Structure 1
Amino acid sequence: MGRVYYVSKNVGLGMLVLATIALATIIALSIAYDKERAKNRGKPENEATDSTSMPTPLTTPSTPKEPWDHYRLPDSLVPVSYNVTLWPRLRPNADGMYLFTGYSAVIFSCVKETDLIIIHSNKLNLTNFYGHHAKLSGLGDATAPTIQKTWLVVKTHYLVLQLRSALAVGASYVLHTEFQGELADDLEGFYRSEYTEDGVKKVVATSQMQATYARKTFPCFDEPAMKAVFTVTIIHDQGTVALSNGREIGTADSVIDGMPLRVTTFEPTERMSTYLLAFIVSDFVNIQSTQNSNLLIRIWARRKAIEDRQGDYALNVTGPILQFYEHYYNATYPLSKSDQIALPDFNAGAMENWGLVTYRETALLYDPIMSSTGNKERITTVIAHELAHMWFGNLVTLQWWNDLWLNEGFASYVEYLGADYAEPTWNIKDQIILYDVHKVFAVDALASSHPLSRREEEVNTPAQISEMFNTISYSKGAAVLRMLSEFLTEPVFAKGLSSYLNTFAFGNTVYTDLWDHLQQAVKNTPGMHIPHTVHNIMNRWTLQMGFPVVTIDTRTGSITQKHFLLDPDSVVDRPSQFNYTWFVPIKWMKTGVEQQQHWLLQKTDAHIQMRVSGEDWVLANTNVSGYFRVNYDLDNWDRLLSLLNTNHQALSIINRAQIIDDAFNLARAKIINTTLALRTSKYLAKERDYIPWESALRNLDYYILMFDRTEVYGALQLYLKKQIQPLFEYFKTITANWTKVPTGHTDRYNQINAIGIACSMGVDGCRELIKSWYRQWMESPHHNPIHPNLKTTVYCSAIAFGGVEEWDFAWRMFKNATLASEAVRLRSAMACTKVPWLLNSYGRGSFSFSNLVNGITKRFSTDFELQELKKFKEDNLHVGFGSATLALEQAIEKTTANIKWVTENKAHVLKWFTEEST
């Protein structure tokens, strides 16, 4: 699944106008809202029904006693193929409900003797076959036993068939079911998406099966290892088009129940998992191309979006990205077509359904006039992420959700490679440092973090599965796989990967299977040597949480490692079989010259070449290739800071960003003092590149959050004004007084930083510039003078500096927006207002509960706020927090650390900013 893309920094800052006390209210309301939705959608989880209407006792035994009480399917039956017919109704019935009906026939084989058939079915009304929910037939010489009893278990999402006699081992059977479900607007399973076009409300029937929602669409063996072939038929209104994973092989008009309809059939799929299925009915249109004269590539979207050429860019990059992966994996694309569709209403960023990838509109549609460079980059990377899954995840699928990190972490890493191939001038591979490595460091440095890989028995329920889709799985997964590729070298990594994919094609694996094939690639590469096996090295990065800080003393050459914790006083309850020691590959340089990689294999060792003196300096973790932070003795820190101040370009862009990020976080962990970290920002007046500036601003944003309600903020503001002004003037010059667009890809991002920070810090002329652009637009709404790259910052700043008039104008423009990314920008900007009552003008929208917790609590730094947070947790324990459980624990941990940090550092920070701002 594509990453869920959250609100921008400006939106986050806009949220800060909410009073602290609003935390409990907002989160409690969100829980109540979720509870109400759950109540309206189905029966409580502890209720079960059967064909004889005998209720199951409302007990929850600590150890499940019956097979249907377990969340994992028994291993007695294996599906072979399905024949599925679905008929979604795009108009409500007399009760105002949108429904779908369907039929399924699943062929399965019996591999262990059993008199039970247990298959997933959730929130489906099943038609009775002679008093039962299904009909069973034998295939070949097999005779089907008589069904004695059937019932539904709501808690574990099962349809259970008790048979009068056992199924024969080795025999095959077919299970027939007819069913009806709600085409709800819950973004799960087979659901409806609504949008308005030319004043007319339209309905799309679409799907999201990952992770446990195929069972809401038809009865199925809904686990990733239960692969099968699917033959799909969709009945739909004439004037609409039906799509599924396979290519359409037939379409015929028909009349059913007096209604003129169309029946579309699709070629059988390859052997695949249920979570990758997709079914869509809409009146969308497409643009298409063919690659290698065989592969059909299509981009689908609303008719107006396609007519406005918003699908062209996605079509142009899809072919090259697929070609890159075919070469990288040394495996041809395994399907006959590649459909990608932009949906108006979609929960994730995108979903890698095999052959029919679904996207949010903002992740697929690009308007060459109104979209920004950031929009374009996001579209490229999301497409690259999803297409990477066509092989890694779809062709070869992990056995169970506990190994999700390998699936999503891999796609999150190679998306940079695919995007770099499609857009080689962007240098996008460097940005993994900002978007993944530094991002996940912040989470993985907490005592409440967790290992990448969990034991199967730890991931059972749908809620536990959903919780696996987090920053650790995506971003840490990407970071450690990138590290693995770096120390193996990319050719060896790709060789092992190709062997893995070709060996297990159409099958399932566990993560150690990949280590096996990478180890074999090492063995088959002359001259290749690593100090331990791939298994032994990677186990320390995947089976224990966190990461080390490596400390190098250049006076002695000693090197040590220690588990890095943002709050050094926090207690780590999770034991580690490796005692929080890692095998650390250290790439390093001495006074600008690359040295041979060194492996740190114990808590401490010595490396005489790292002992330097005089003006020589050591920089470790070059290219930020390793997943660890670096600390030095004070002398080496001074030499590195001196280098930054005199010749910062002697260090690479990403190493400059690394020095800043490491220093600020080492200071928060009390490993170095805060003023040393702040000194890394002094050279920024000379810095013109985006990645170091972005790294610095993210870290200084913490100081803003902690001190913007205190006397420190004035001095901080003066210091940042002094540092940002040269960058503001630089972009004013190279853009000919803001009339041109910077040519460099990342320069366009840094221009946004220059304007946004300059305006918020009070640089002369900045606010007037923003206000004039926005005023021009207000005076001529059909001619927006603001460049798309700058819209997010300009809209937010203008609304923050303005009042009701500016906000009302944004609201009108939002309601009239026809491009999804423009609507998102305007909606986000309206949250930047300093007029609190305007925030109440929003209607109810969807949100990520965990993101809401993170967004609101990130500035908590007082004991009162901590107690409110703990009280909220205590008051709602009986309800539970679902996918936000971990986020809440981390919010409490981070708030505790913030309180300590502010108490210990406030006076020093005030003194430093006061001295440096003059």
Structure 2
Amino acid sequence: MSKATAASKALAAAFVVLTGSVIAGIITMVIFYKTEISPMNPTPRPTTPPTTTSLPPVFRLPRDLIPQSYEIFLQPDFYTKIIEVVNVTSPNQTMLFTGNSTVSFHCVQGTRAIYLHSDGLAISEPVVVNKNNSKKVAVSSTKNHEYPSNFLEIQLDEALEQGVTYSLFLAFEGHIRQSPYAMFASKYAEGAPAYEGDQDGERFLVATILEPTYARKVFPCFDEPDLKAVFHVTIVHRSETQALGNAEVKESNGIDDDWKVTYFHPTPKMSTYLFAFVVSEFTSTEPSAPSDRVGIETYARPNATRAGHAQYATDVAAKILQFYESHFEINYQQQKLTQIALPDLRAEAMENWGLVTYKEGRLLYEEGASSPLHKEDIASIIAHELAHQWFGNLVTMKWWNDIWLNEGFATYFSIFAVDQVEPSFQLKEWHIMSNLHRAFEDDALASSHPLSPPLEDVQWPAEIEGMFDSITYFKGAAVLRMLADIVSEGTFTKGIKMYLSDFKYGSADQDDLWGHIQKAVDQDGGRTDVAKVMNTWTKQIGYPVITINTTNGEIYQKHFLFNDTYESNLWWELPIRVMSNAPKSSPIWLRSNNKVQKDEFISKKGEWILANVNCTGYFRVNYNSENWERLLTQLETDPDKIPLMNRGQLVDDAFNLARAELVDVTLALNSTRFLRDERDFLPWKLAAKNLEYFVLMFDRSEVNGPMQAYLRQQVKGLYDFFRNYTDSSTVPENHSLQHTQILAIEVACSNGLPECVEMATGMFANWMASNGTNHIPPILRSVIYCQALAAGGREEWDFAWDKFQSSTDTAERDQLGQALACTKKIWLLNRYLEYTLDPEKIRRMDVGPTISSIARNVAGQALAWNFIRAHWTYVQWDSVMLVDAVTRRFSTPFELTELERFGEDYHLGAATMAVVQAVEQTRVNIQWVSENKDGVLQWFESETAS
């Protein structure tokens, strides 16, 4: 986290003064900073009016005071072990912290009021000091403004002077939270009980996650991303624990038998949301260094590090860091990089500078027990978080409306980092396409938002939270890939290097980015007007569908929306790259929504034209029916003539154009015929993803039987291709083939292919009969567990539940937890839902994912919908995830009415936009099902009959 001041043991002794007691008998401390708290008498009240008066700000802090540094002292008062049990339900645990902070700031405009953020803290002892002359400035009053501003207002008896540096000392107390945000406690099991009263080796740690607006819950601060400062940090913690922070430990000394104090070196200049610390009994791997400058360690539960489960994360992080340093030509800016696997974390991970936190299951790898494919997840998430050390940490967006400059870049570059350091994974194309389609889905709704919305649309904390969505992450990555294709990869990289170099330790907005890419374009002799082109993609919602008529060469664009009743005249600047089974020139620019004619888009007899080669553009493509037929015929006869990414994209475009009613639904279904002979992962995965919409719309209707019959016959060839592996409990060495094998089992078993169901239930039965010896290959366990429980009953479910409860392997617990939601027995699903209310059965951080898994099951969707409404207060921490999961099948007027009533009757908070989008999608589903159900049923019946 942050660093302490240069303190000797004598200074440490001076710290030991009362700041406020957490509980009677606990040592409390306060830091006296000689320059901030002087022995002088308070400055007398002014006899003349101040130079300026400050009105309360609306939602942003005024820029009259700019922070330079913080000196922060924190003492989390908690026990890592429960030693004394007061009664059965109330163990002797303390969930409080005390502290003080001294923030130094420069006055750029005279003012009699200091505004900063504080939320839920008991503030006392404000002291303001003029650092130029060490005189105190008298405080006349303090006031806390409630949510959503959370301002702490400090009124002064005299005005602060322009050009002078001041300091503000505040003592404070706060609560350690039980949910993973701000400063929180996390409970975990560490082996057998170590002492009498220790229940199952239960341990506690304290950690932080402060993004986006939670730093104000830990210490008073200027909690906005562009108000960067240097942090000097001191942590007082239990003697048996270790404190980790953003920077290296400078010194750690014992105070007495119970407490010790750890001082940290100063941090780089950084935003408050990147401040972090962890106090725990965790241990680390041996440091792995990409160079002599940076030591990399990964911390986890001691039994996990002893077993080597954190070693892969350490090793791959070193390779990824080295890749980024070479690619950006800017070194990582600290001497250490610490990763830590936490039992509880709200996000998948958090990029705190120098102390990156991860959910335990996303970081640990157990050889022989974890799926080999889990290494892909570990490498990908580490690559994402380490990209943030440049995009977000070194250069930060000025305000949260441009958070895509953090998340879009991290998503984009993580793909190339993983491909570079783990080339055997061979999944760059799939990750690109997966990101593209996750953005396409939400951006096809009229309730989407621009990648970079106006400042006034992103003000309060709930609005800021809402920006962390698929648009920010995945559309951000997609438009960056498109920009790199437009200006060339080399020019793009040159511009990025200049952008990082010029704004390091500072903040930027997207105009700054465009300016630096433009500088590189101009230097390389390019002619693209970067801002003009890219603002059409970032300042308005959505994306276009390009329609090409190959009989007359006409081409035009239109805003692509699932809701065809929504009127839109938006248009985008875009290049269209084309190929054919005859040579074609490319690319051509489309700069309006008017129809234009291009001779190169006229096809001769038997010729097809394919646009958006390798899917570099963020748009969909539609064709006249003749060109569609030629492309689909090519897929069935010789698919290799079409690039792999486009084979998948043709299916995806066809299905989504059918959802928007721009092509007939039978065209989309015809695009799946080639799958009977397809063996590559990407086309199959995209086809399965798109057919999922049909499953969601029709698995409660008479369409389901013929649809499953069709999918059984299409997937049989793929399933048989892997049958020698599957039946002998082995997997191919190739990662892409491993993914395809899993997909083949999933599609075959879920649609009732007899040999698949028999295989899955047989493997699971053998495990149940083997006294705990599990011969199912780790890579197949997730899909085998799910399909076996779907086909089984109570005996299988209870066995899986017992294994879930007793397993200490995080990956195994995750697989079993998801599989338990696959049962078709409604009473078992209902029992599983009830278990989510008991933290002893389902960890608080797993409640949302568990209910979501149940909602994805057709047998559990209605149960989950009723459950979240009945327990909204308890589950609303995961509200956005849950609203999306439970409403995906909604396609009837009754479900729409229930959803609208839910939006009116419940306090939605961060889920407000999710409900708005769910209402829009439900209306689209109702119309689409009513217009297409009969045709879909007829098509599936015809195909299976033939």
Q: Which amino acid counterpart does residue 798 of structure 2 have in structure 1?
A: D
* Structure 2: distance between partners of 1:381 and 1:561: 35
Helix, strand or coil at the partner of 1:384: helix
What amino acid sits opposite 2:150 in the alignment? H
Structure 2 equivalent of residue 751 of structure 1: 741
| 8 Å contact from structure 1 (residues 119, 160) kept in 2 | yes
Question: Which 10-residue stretch deviates more, 73-82 or 836-845?
Answer: 836-845
Secondary structure at the aligned position of 2:566 is classed as coil
Are the counterparts in 1 of residues 361 and 811 from structure 2 also a CA contact under 8 Å? yes
Q: What is the rounded CA distance, in whole Å, between the counterparts of 1:367 and 1:781 in structure 2?
A: 21
Residues 154 and 97 (structure 1 numbering): CA distance in 2 closer, same or farther, change over 3 Å? Answer: farther
Q: 1:823 aligns with which of 796, 813, 828?
A: 813
CA separation of 1:819 and 1:729: change in aligned 2, threshold 3 A: same
Aligned to 1:138: 130
1:221-240 matches, cutoff 5 A: 221-240=222-241
Structure 1 residues 67, 189: closer, same or farther in 2, change over 3 A?
A: farther
Contact 2:582 2:607 in 1 (8 A): no
Query: 1:571 Cα deviation (Å)?
Result: 5.1
* Amino acid aligned to 1:145: V
1:853 aligned onto 2:883? yes
Superposed CA offset, 1:118-176 (max 9, x none) = 1111111123x3xxxx1111212263321111122222212211111100111111111
Query: Following superposition of structure 1 onto structure 2, how do residues 364-383 of structure 1 map, counting pairs within 5 Å?
Result: 364-383=363-382
Q: 1:552 aligns with which of 548, 553, 563?
A: 548
Change (3 A) 1:97 1:253: closer
* Conserved 8 A contact 2:233-2:264: yes
Q: How does 1:67-106 map to 2 (within 5 A)?
A: 67-68=55-56, 70-91=58-79, 97-106=94-103
- Relative to structure 1, the CA distance from residue 776 to residue 351 in structure 2 (aligned partners, 3 Å threshold; closer, same or farther) is same
Q: How does 1:500-539 map to 2 (within 5 A)?
A: 500-526=499-525, 528-530=526-528, 533-539=529-535
Is 1:204 aligned with 2:205? Answer: yes
Of 194-203 and 499-508, deviating more is 194-203
- Say whether 1:682 aligns with 2:673: yes
How far apart in 2 are the matches of 1:120 and 1:252?
32
667-676 or 367-376, which deviates more: 367-376
Shift of 1:872: 1.7
Over residues 775-811 of structure 1, what are the superposed CA-to-partner deviations in whole Å (9 max), with x where a residue is unaligned?
1111125321111221111111111111111110111
CA positional deviation for 1:732: 0.9
Shift of 1:435: 2.2
Once residues 351 and 582 of structure 2 are traced to their aligned partners in structure 1, the CA distance between those partners, rounded to angstroms, is 43
Alpha-carbon contact 2:127-2:137 (below 8 Å) kept: no
Distance 2:322 2:583 in 1: 36
Deviation of 1:486 after TM superposition, in Å, equals 1.4
Looking at structure 2, the residues matched to 434 and 311 of structure 1 have their Cα atoms a distance apart, in angstroms, of 30
Counterpart CA distance in 2 for 1:872 and 1:183 is 32
The reply on whether 1:117 has 2:110 as its aligned counterpart is no
Alpha-carbon distance in 1 for matches of 2:93, 2:205 = 16
Paired position in structure 1 for 2:705: 714
Residues in 2 aligned to 1:481 and 1:385: alpha-carbon distance in whole angstroms: 15
8 Å Cα contact 2:402/2:452 also seen in 1: yes
In 2, are the aligned partners of 1:119 and 1:159 still within 8 Å (CA)? yes
Partner Cα separation in structure 1 for residue 689 and residue 585 of structure 2? 31
Alignment partner for residue 108 of structure 1, among 105, 109, 113? 105
**Shift of residue 838 of structure 1?**
1.7
What residue in structure 2 maps to residue 897 of structure 1?
924
SS at match of 2:255: strand
Q: How does 1:319-468 map to 2 (within 5 A)?
A: 319-468=318-467
Task: Work out whether residues 718 and 917 of structure 1, in 8 Å CA contact, stay in contact via their aligned partners in 2.
Answer: yes
Partner of 1:630, secondary structure, is strand
CA distance in 1, matches of 2:559, 2:706: 34
Which residue of the other structure, out of 556, 560, 563, is the alignment partner of 1:564?
560
CA distance in 2, matches of 1:739, 1:786: 6
Matched with 2:893 is 863
Structure 1 counterpart of 2:695, one-letter code: I
Q: Which shows bigger deviation, 452-461 or 338-347?
A: 452-461
Does the residue aligned with 2:136 lie in a helix, a strand or coil? coil
Given residue 220 of structure 1, which amino acid in structure 2 is its aligned partner? C
TM-score relative to the length of structure 2? 0.86
Report % sequence identity: 43
Counterpart residue identity of residue 698, structure 1: K
Are residues 1:148 and 2:140 paired? Answer: yes
Q: Does 1:587 align with 2:566?
A: no
Q: 2:763 is matched with which residue: 757, 763, 773? A: 773
Distance between the aligned counterparts of 2:765 and 2:772, measured in 1? 13
Alignment of 1:836-847 (within 5 A): 836-839=826-829, 840-841=831-832, 842-844=835-837, 845=844, 846-847=847-848
Whether 1:874 and 2:864 are equivalent positions in the alignment is: no
Alpha-carbon distance, 1:432 to partner: 3.0
Q: Could you tell me which runs of 5 or more consecutive residues in structure 1 were left unpaired when the two chains were aligned.
A: 1-64, 573-578
Q: Distance in 1 between matches of 2:507 and 2:375?
A: 34
**What's the CA shift for 1:425?**
2.2
Q: Secondary structure at the match of 1:638?
A: helix
1:581-624 per-position Cα deviation (integer Å, ceiling 9, x unaligned): 10111111111757421111122222211211212111111110
Mean CA deviation greater in 704-713 or 332-341: 704-713
Amino acid aligned to 1:230? F
1:805 equivalent to 2:832? Answer no
2:151 aligned residue: 158
- Tell me the equivalent position of 2:684: 693
What CA deviation, in whole Å up to 9, does each residue of 1:621-647 have, x standing for no partner?
111000000001111111101101100
Aligned to 1:651: 642
1:739 aligns with 2:735: no
The alpha carbon displacement at 1:96 in A equals: 5.1
Contact 2:405 2:510 in 1 (8 A): yes
Distance 1:135 1:457, change over 3 A: same
Q: Quick check: 1:433–1:624 contact (8 Å CA) kept in 2?
A: no
Q: Structure 1 counterpart of 2:481, which letter?
A: R
Aligned to 1:4: none
SS of 2:137's partner is coil
Match of 1:917, SS state, is helix
Query: 1:274 aligns to what?
Result: 272
Could you tell me how far apart the structure 1 residues matched to 2:412 and 2:707 are? 36
User: Quick one: which amino acid aligns to residue 875 of structure 1?
Assistant: D
* Separation in 1, partners of 2:247, 2:181: 21
Aligned-pair RMSD on alpha carbons?
1.6
Contact 2:415 2:432 in 1 (8 A): no
Q: Number of residue pairs matched? A: 833
Aligned CA distance change for structure 1 residues 476 and 736 (closer, same or farther; 3 Å): closer
CA deviation digits over 1:261-288, x for unaligned, max 9? Answer: 1211111011110000111100001111
Unaligned runs of 5+ in 2: 1-52, 87-91, 192-199, 838-843, 849-877
Equivalent positions of 1:151-190 (< 5 A) are 151-155=143-147, 156-190=149-183
| SS, match of residue 160 in structure 1 | strand
Amino acid at match of 1:120: H
Match of 2:768, as an amino acid? Answer: M
- Per-residue CA deviation, residues 17-50 of structure 1 (Å, 9 max, x unaligned), is xxxxxxxxxxxxxxxxxxxxxxxxxxxxxxxxxx
Distance 1:592 1:105, change over 3 A: farther
C-alpha deviation, 1:384, in angstroms: 0.4
Letter in 2 for 1:596: S
**Partner letter of residue 597 of structure 1?**
P
For each residue in 1:802-839, what CA deviation from the matched residue of structure 2 results, as whole angstroms up to 9, or x when unmatched?
A: 11111101111111111212111111111111112222
Secondary structure of residue in 1 paired with 2:135: coil
Aligned AA (1:456): L
SS of the residue 2:575 aligns to: strand
Deviations 1:402-429 (A, max 9, x none): 1012211111111101111111122232
Alignment partners' CA distance in 1, 2:941 and 2:582: 34
